[in-house]
Amino acid sequence: MRTIMLFIFVAFALSSCDDIQNNSPALQAELDGVLYRAIDARAEILPNGNLVMQGLTDVENLTITLSGSTEGVYTLGATGVNRAAFQDFLGSIYTTRPFGDGQVVIESTDNNTFTGTFKFNAFRFGLDTLNAQKGFFFKVPIVAGSTTGEPDPPANFLSATINGTDFESETTTASEANDLIEITGSTDNQSISLSFPSALTGGNNPIGEMITASYTIDGVTLQAVSGNISIVNHNTTLNEISGAFSFLTGGPEGVEITQGQFNVSY
């Protein structure tokens, strides 16, 4: 009996997989190796020409925004229009902006529907990553006014790993004065502060006289003695900047800050 039931289950599972491939419309992907299958998929072309596609379940949603709606390849990442965002059942938001990457291919636009594939790497507040593979959308229809605003992480965030423990700021501030940008991310008893010239460029910028960092815990501030700050994107028109950092503090027991990321408006 157990063998018979197992056979029936496998047959049902294979049949279900076929149904997934043939459903119209459909949007699905493997998210960190787990199948995400939307129960509702729709698209909308916004007045500015951007295409928004959304796949929804009762508790999760995946939103893809593209700069156009014609057949072709769209590269995701940085701070451009092309992006993907996923909100899970806990409310956690993963986005390809500004640190992620990926690709969307629109293969067909027959009868005001969209068919194609996608893959991406997205980040949650700089702490976790989400890998989407084998993504595809099939005959997703245009329905005017049907999409909702994509889930967006807080405008300002700073995160890092402190001696191997995750740190995510509860309050993040940023300002510019005298051609210096200063950023501080804080919790109740800890904070990380960065200061660097507003003209700082990408790549490794060693901590030194004009590039400084510090870590404060329980009112005691430890200055960085080595490390790097790099800029990923800097929009001087909107006063938005994102980057990465790592450093080691001085003192009897140096504190190691790694995997630091920030995305702020100043």
- Asked if the model's pLDDT at residue 16 lies above 50, the reply is no
**Amino acid at residue number 8:** I
Q: Which residues of 169-205 are buried (b: 16+ CB within 10 A; e: fewer)?
A: beebbbeeeeebbebbbbeeeebbbbbbebebeeeeb
Are 25 and 113 in contact, with CB atoms under 8 Å apart? yes
Are 99 and 261 in contact, with CB atoms under 8 Å apart? yes
Find the range with the poorest average confidence among 38-42, 103-107, 251-255: 251-255
- The vertex-125 CA angle with 246 and 158, nearest 5°, equals 45
| pLDDT 10s digits, 156-175 | 889 999 999 999 899 999 99
Provide the β-strand partners of residue 27: 137
More confident residue, 136 or 236: 136
For residue 14, the model assigns a pLDDT of 35
Question: Rounded distance, CA 147 to CA 229, Å?
Answer: 38
For residue 12, the model assigns a pLDDT of 33
